[in-house]
Amino acid sequence: MAGQGDVFDPRGLLAALDRNYVSYVLIGGFARVIRGTDELTSGVDICPSLRPENVERLERALAELEAKRADRRRLALDEEALARESVIRLRTAKGELQIVPEPAGTRKGFEDLRRGASREHIGHGLRPQVASVPDLARMSAALGRERDLERSRELRRIMELEVGIQRTLGLER
């Protein structure tokens, strides 16, 4: 996996998850960029379903991506590891991937986030489920770090713009 530090192919990474039918919600920086924030990101963060059959599909996708733990420990995705670790940082042939079983500010991770998530076209036939702007703001605010609070404020501005657009178009609920 030489040169992995230089590679960032988010579409390639997400395509591998899709080929293996992994259920997940895209969160973190790449999700915020898709939703309209002005930031740079160098990795993909996902909150996967923790159902055993989905974890098996995730393991197959990670094998395809030649995933290795960033901390060089053995990669094991079992129920215990997913419950014990808040973030599993991986290096893959397509770039950095973080698996976040239960992101800050959520209850039951995937089950909480999938309600507000929507499928977004990102090219090459990919339509990942992306966390909603309110959920991304909630997760950023829950982290409480200054940079995350700024991200939360930017996401709230995006929410205000979306509400204004809906009012203009007469699409209010």
pLDDT in tens, 46-58: 999 999 999 999 9
| Residue 4 pLDDT greater than 80, yes or no | no
Convert the pLDDT of each residue in 96-155 to its tens digit. 999 999 999 999 899 999 999 999 999 999 999 999 999 998 898 888 777 776 777 777
Contacts of 126 (CB under 8 A, 6+ apart): 11, 14, 15, 18
| Residue 88 pLDDT greater than 90, yes or no | yes
Average pLDDT over residues 165-173: 61
What residues does each domain of the chain span? 4-132
Neighbours of 37 (CB within 10 A): 18
Sign of CA dihedral 134, 8, 15, 54: negative
Per DSSP, the three-state class of 24 is strand
Convert the pLDDT of each residue in 13-71 to its tens digit. 999 999 999 999 999 999 999 998 888 889 999 999 999 999 999 999 999 999 999 99
* DSSP strand pairing (118-119 vs 129-130): antiparallel
Average pLDDT over residues 87-92: 96
CATH code for the domain defined by 4-132: 3.30.460.40
pTM, whole model, 2 decimals? 0.84
